[in-house]
Amino acid sequence: MDLDNWLATSPRRLNRLAEALGCKTYLEIGVSEGITFNAVNVETKTGVDPDFQFDWQASHDGVGTRLLPISSDEFFAQEPEKSRFDLIFIDGLHTYDQTYRDLQNALLHSHPGTVILIDDTIPCDAYSCCRDQEEAIRLREQSTGIANAIWHGDTYKIMPLIHLFHTAYEYCTIMDQGNPQTVLWRAKEPRKVDELASMTTFWGLENLAACDYLWMLRNPQIFNPVSEAEGLDRAVAGILALHP
C-alpha cells in the first residue's frame, strides 16, 4: 500500500469538491492527527474528535478554525440549529450505527448545496469489516500471516439505509485512486429505487447482522461504484444543477 497516496486521498477529493462548488464552511467528524483537516482549503473549518492526536489548541481560534475535543453526538447536540455546512467529511467511529447517526445529524446541518463525503464504506477484506480494530488486525495476522493495520469497520452497512431511506439524495462510491469513499448530495428529483433493489435492500435491513463481507461483494449495485473522476464530477454537476 502506498501510504502517501492513501493519506492524500481525502484531501484531494475534498479540495476538488470545495473548489468546484465554492465551499466556504467545512465540518470534519473524526480528525485524529489532523492530516486531512489541515489540508482542506476552505475558509471556515470545524473539526470534532474526542481524542485529538495533535496539539489542536495551537490551531483552534474559535472563528476561522474550530477544533472541539468532544464526541460527534455531543457536538451535534450543542451546535445551533441554524448552523449549516457546505462540505462535510464523516470519518469518525467506524461502526455503521455511529456513522449512520453522524450522517443523520450532518443532514440536519446541511443545505441543498451541501456535499458529504463518507470514509471507509468498502472494507478491503473480511477482517477489515470487524467492528473492533484490534480484533481485525489480530485475526488477519493469525489467519494469513499478514500484519497491517488496515481497518474499515462495518461502516459499509449504512449503504442499504442510504439506498432505501434517503431517496432525496444521490450518491455513489468512489472505488479507485485510494481509499473507497461514498459521496452524497441532494437530488434534483427523488431517486427511484427499482423493485429488485428494494427487495435486496429490505433483506439486508431485516438481516443486518448477516450483511457480511460476502453479502457486500454479491450486491455491489447498492454501493453504486464509480471511479474517482466520475464520482466527483457527478456530485458537482448534481449540485450545480440545483443552483445554476
Residue 138 is predicted with a pLDDT of 87
Give the whole-angstrom CA distance, residue 41 versus residue 21.
12
Which phi and psi angles does 65 have, rounded to 5°? -130, 120
Residue 130 is predicted with a pLDDT of 84
Give the chain's domain count.
1
pLDDT tens-digit readout, 180-223: 999 999 999 998 887 777 777 777 777 777 788 888 888 888 89
Q: For the domain that residue 85 is a member of, what is the CATH number?
A: 3.40.50.150
Residue 3 is predicted with a pLDDT of 52
SS3 137: helix
Whole domain around residue 167: which residue ranges?
3-242
Residue 6 is predicted with a pLDDT of 60
Give the whole-angstrom CA distance, residue 61 versus residue 44.
11
- Against a cut of 0.75, is the pTM above it? yes
Residue 148 is predicted with a pLDDT of 81
Residue 198 is predicted with a pLDDT of 77
Give the whole-angstrom CA distance, residue 17 versus residue 89.
11
DSSP structure class, residue 113: T
- Containing 36, the helix (H) or strand (E) segment is helix 35-39
Low-confidence residues in the chain, pLDDT < 70: 1-7, 244
